[in-house]
């Protein structure tokens, strides 16, 4: 399969590298890592075993890549206004577009531009960070859940699941993409929010009883709102405890939003916080703790964005 990786950060580099190692024809759209990857390839440091791709197909523009079978979108959601610019040159008659981005609203935005029939949604439970240019560090997890945005042909998702699985990833399909997205938010909202706000890693948050309690309260708030969204089956309260147990095993880990704040980049507030808040409000539910986090993060973001920091 001819695949384009759009948004080659830690997620895009890691999954793209696995797909290339698995024999797929992968093309990376790069910015920061272009020179290093073009010169020396891509190095993956993983808990599952390190590996190196000495030759990688790297590009500066989507026009250089041309139409592909699959566009894998790993952009930070604050760059979604570049969908048209970055993806249109990659789309041919039968192209599928798979978004593995965080939060809510990504499938809807892609469907408006390229048609709902092309869009596959994915939720990635991945702990990874970028290293030096041309390097990515896989620190834990990596499971992917895939589902059609507009149910047309489930065999398309089955084929993608098979491809990811054969490339060495744990991957499964779902008939309820919305539920999978909200399950990811149960983790993303408290840990991305609090880690960015307090600049504490996951293990630091969990080691202090007060912040551990706050993490769980935020999770329960998200679960309550999720279960008002017409899911195929509710997310049980016990899911919060399983997420805490999962997180305890991570050890030292900085969520992506914490790293973005440290490096003075824009934060994914709309997709991860504001869009879920809107969805909750539409069902008559408030999420006061999530609202507080969103408001404080917006204040933090405005201070360093107005100060001239940029990616």
Active-site residue set? 184
- What is the biggest distance separating any 2 CA atoms in the chain, rounded to whole angstroms? 54
Is residue 195 a contact partner of residue 258, using CB atoms and an 8 Å limit? yes
Name every residue whose Cβ is closer than 8 Å to that of residue 210 and which is 6 or more positions away in sequence.
Answer: none
d(CA 47, CA 27): 25
Cβ neighbours of 111 (radius 10 Å): 16
**Residue pointed to by tokens 């790069």:** 30
End-to-end Cα distance, the chain: 32
Nearest 5°: CA angle at 169, between 270 and 249? Answer: 70
């Amino acid at each position: 399969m001819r695949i384009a990786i759009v948004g080659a950060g830690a997620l895009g580099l890691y999954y793209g590298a696995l797909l290339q190692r698995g024999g797929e024809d992968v093309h990376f759209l790069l910015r920061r890592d272009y020179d290093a990857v073009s010169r020396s390839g891509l190095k993956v440091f993983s808990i599952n075993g390190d590996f190196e791709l000495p030759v990688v197909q790297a590009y500066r523009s989507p026009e250089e890549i041309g139409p592909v079978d699959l566009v894998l979108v790993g952009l930070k959601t604050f760059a979604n206004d570049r969908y048209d610019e970055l993806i249109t040159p990659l789309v041919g008659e039968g192209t599928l577009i798979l978004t593995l981005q965080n939060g809510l609203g990504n499938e809807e935005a892609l469907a408006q531009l390229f048609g709902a029939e092309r869009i596959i949604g994915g939720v990635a439970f991945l702990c990874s960070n970028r290293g030096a240019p041309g390097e990515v560090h896989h620190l834990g997890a990596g499971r992917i859940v895939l589902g059609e945005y507009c149910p047309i042909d489930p065999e398309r998702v089955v084929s993608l699941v098979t491809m990811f699985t054969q490339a060495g990833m744990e991957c499964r399909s779902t008939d309820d993409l919305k539920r999978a997205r909200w399950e990811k938010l149960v983790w993303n909202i408290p840990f991305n929010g609090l880690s960015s706000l307090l600049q504490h890693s996951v293990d630091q948050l969990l080691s202090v009883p007060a912040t551990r309690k706050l993490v769980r309260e935020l999770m329960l708030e998200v679960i309550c709102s999720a279960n008002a969204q017409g899911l195929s089956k509710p997310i049980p309260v016990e899911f919060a405890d399983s997420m805490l147990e999962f997180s305890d095993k991570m050890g030292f880990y900085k969520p992506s939003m914490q790293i973005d704040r440290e490096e003075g980049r824009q934060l994914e507030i709309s997709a991860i916080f504001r869009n879920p808040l809107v969805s909750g409000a539409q069902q008559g539910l408030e999420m006061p703790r999530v609202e507080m986090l969103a408001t404080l993060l917006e204040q933090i973001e405005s201070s360093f964005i107005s100060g001239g920091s940029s990616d």
